[in-house]
Structure 1
Amino acid sequence: MSTSGTLIEVSDMSHGYTMAGERMTILKNLSFTIDFGEFVAIIGPSGSGKSTLMNMLGCLDVSDTGSYLLDGQEIRKLSDNKLAAIRNEKIGFIFQSFNLLPKLSAVENVELPLVYRGISHRQRRQLAEDALTKVGLGDRMHHRPAELSGGQQQRVAIARAMAGSPPILLADEPTGALDTRTGKEVMGMIRQLNEQGHTIILITHDLEIAEQANRIIRIQDGNLVEDRRKA
């Protein structure tokens, strides 16, 4: 994968579903590009389509029509196995609900995506320990999620997302379950990851959070209604 130029190219993306015999269109002919190293916030109210768009960008689903090129590769044409491989290698996910496995320690949770890459135990343990140290949890590596605060759990989730150095970090309401102070700390970490070269795509309904990005894409009723880069 290259490290400059266009990373994501979305063209005329539409998506919907059928409920009770009626077709509901969620995304309507969206088109935009995201370059390597950008920090983009996708903002919109509940029901606007931003979560559906996140699923498309994260290769968790594919659109009904249009095109999605990720580093020049057409995602809509790939098999489920290929999509899973791309998610594992190219996208780090940070979720509002942390999505940590309760029976695993922090370091084991961070290691998990690396297991699926076939990385040796010694190497993935080192990568996981390095990532946890970077987010300030070097002394909490062997604690389980229940033994950690919400902010610490989100730090584990950030460490898990960044451990394999994926080019894209996709953060879905990463501060939604946190208090204001902890939320600011987490956003500080995300900005730092962007400064280190990660492309950040942040999904949020909160304008104050979105304003911390360098670019805001606003979705409303499935339409792209604003695409604003900060000066």
Structure 2
Amino acid sequence: MSASEPLIRVQNMQHSYTMAGESMSILKGLTFNIDYGEFVAIIGPSGSGKSTLMNMLGCLDVANEGDYFLDGQEIRKLSDNKLAQIRNEKIGFIFQNFNLLPKLSAVENVELPLIYRGMSHRERREVARNALVRVGLESRIDHRPSELSGGQQQRVAIARALAGTPPILLADEPTGALDSKTGKEVLEMIKELNQQGHTIILITHDLEIAEQAKRIIRIQDGDLVEDRKVSQS
């Protein structure tokens, strides 16, 4: 892989589903690159195809047609097991509804992706604790999700995404379940992570949130209709 190879390369990505015997086109030939260290917002209204695109970028699904290269690997040709390995090693997921296991403490939730790395209990506990310190939750390490505020739960989710040191953080409406003040705090944390070198892909329907990124890709009816840099004030 050459030094100039982008982290993500999408070429003519097309995807359709068959419903009631009828083919529905969801993605219509998307082409774009994302470089290492970028902060990109993918924006579009409900039904635009942005969630399907997120699933493709996150290796949760594979497109019917077109090419997707992630960190130099061609994704469409990989087995389910290999896709699972890539998700574990290369992508940190941050979801709108946190996706924390309620019976586990904060540190145990953060440890979960590390179990599949074959880390010893001691090593993954140390990594998870350090990740929680990074997001300002050192005093909440042993608390369960029900004992944490929404903002604290999202911080645990961010720590979990960071713990495996993946090159990509994929954030799907990360402030959607938060009040506006807490949402701004979480966005500021995501911006700081980008400044520290993490590649951020933020999925949103909200232009105000998208404008916090450095680049906006707008999806509408399965087409890429805008790809622009954001002027930073």
TM-score, normalising length: structure 1: 0.98
Aligned match of 1:35: 35
Unaligned runs of 5+ in 1: none
On the 8 A contact 1:5/1:36 being kept in 2, the answer is no
Aligned match of 1:162: 162
TM-score, normalising length: structure 2: 0.97
On the 8 A contact 2:10/2:67 being kept in 1, the answer is yes
Q: Which amino acid aligns with 2:191?
A: R
Distance in 2, matches of 1:124 and 1:16, equals: 40
Aligned match of 1:200: 200
Paired residue secondary structure (1:191): helix
Taking structure 1 as reference, are residues 59 and 2 closer, same or farther at Cα in structure 2, changes over 3 Å only? farther
Aligned match of 1:69: 69
Partner deviation per Cα, 1:206-227 (whole Å, 9 max, x = no partner):
0000000000000000000000
Q: Which amino acid aligns with 1:11?
A: Q
Paired residues for 1:112-131 under 5 Å? 112-131=112-131
Distance in 1, matches of 2:13 and 2:27, equals: 7
Partner deviation per Cα, 1:63-122 (whole Å, 9 max, x = no partner):
000000001110000000000000000000000010000010000000000001111111
Aligned match of 2:107: 107
Partner deviation per Cα, 1:133-170 (whole Å, 9 max, x = no partner):
11111000000001111000000000000011100000
Taking structure 1 as reference, are residues 3 and 152 closer, same or farther at Cα in structure 2, changes over 3 Å only? farther
Taking structure 1 as reference, are residues 90 and 2 closer, same or farther at Cα in structure 2, changes over 3 Å only? farther
What is the total number of aligned residue pairs between the two structures?
231
Unaligned runs of 5+ in 2: none
On the 8 A contact 2:8/2:34 being kept in 1, the answer is yes
Distance in 1, matches of 2:3 and 2:202, equals: 20
Distance in 2, matches of 1:142 and 1:134, equals: 16
Paired residues for 1:16-95 under 5 Å? 16-95=16-95
Dislocated runs of 4+, deviation >3 Å:
1-5
On the 8 A contact 1:115/1:124 being kept in 2, the answer is yes
Moved more, 128-137 or 84-93: 128-137
Percent identity of paired positions between Structure 1 and Structure 2: 79
Partner deviation per Cα, 1:41-76 (whole Å, 9 max, x = no partner):
000000000000000000000000000000111000
Distance in 2, matches of 1:134 and 1:144, equals: 18
Distance in 1, matches of 2:149 and 2:28, equals: 40
Name the Cα RMSD after superposition: 1.2
